[in-house]
């Protein structure tokens, strides 16, 4: 079975400060990991993914995420937050083991609020 947890319902950060949105996962085999962002009344937009290779993945809009296998985490980061980054962020995981689902499981989402 595959599952993902986003332990924070909301993250508040001041504009210009670094931000981190946390995600932990559970899979039987190796994970494919994803981050999506959702703005109000919009669908999800893909930010970045980890398949294999470097543990630090760079994505859209200056975001990056660090894959940590020992801690089963895939935290989303940005060095300097913008007010326009305020949105809902979803982490997703797909188990690549045989018998694993081809469909990702999404977390409940974390609301990021960047204060001016």
Partner 1 sequence: DAGVTQSPTHLIKTRGQQVTLRCSPKSGHDTVSWYQQALGQGPQFIFQYYEEEERQRGNFPDRFSGHQFPNYSSELNVNALLLGDSALYLCASSLATVDEQFFGPGTRLTVL
Dist. CA 1–CA 74, nearest whole Å: 18
Q: Are 8 and 22 in contact (CB under 8 A)?
A: yes
Inter-residue contact 32 to 49 (CB < 8 Å): yes
Number of residues that bind partner 1 (CB under 8 A): 23
Secondary structure (3-state) at 41:
coil
Please, which of residues 88-107 interact with partner 1 by CB under 8 A? Answer: 90, 92, 94, 101-107
Nearer Cβ to partner 1, position 15 or 111? 111
Binding mask 5-44 for partner 1 (x = CB under 8 A): ---------------------------x-x-x----xxxx
């Amino acid at each position: 079975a595959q599952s993902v947890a986003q332990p924070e319902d909301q993250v508040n950060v001041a504009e210009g400060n670094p931000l981190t949105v946390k995600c932990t996962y559970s899979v039987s085999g190796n994970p494919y990991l994803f981050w999506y962002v959702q703005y109000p009344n919009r669908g999800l937009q893909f930010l970045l993914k980890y398949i294999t290779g470097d543990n630090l993945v760079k994505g859209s809009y200056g975001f990056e995420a660090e894959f940590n296998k020992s801690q089963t985490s895939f935290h989303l980061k940005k060095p300097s937050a913008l007010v326009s980054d305020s949105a809902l962020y979803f982490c997703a995981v797909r188990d690549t083991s045989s018998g694993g689902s081809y469909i990702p499981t999404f977390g409940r989402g974390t609301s990021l609020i960047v204060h001016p």
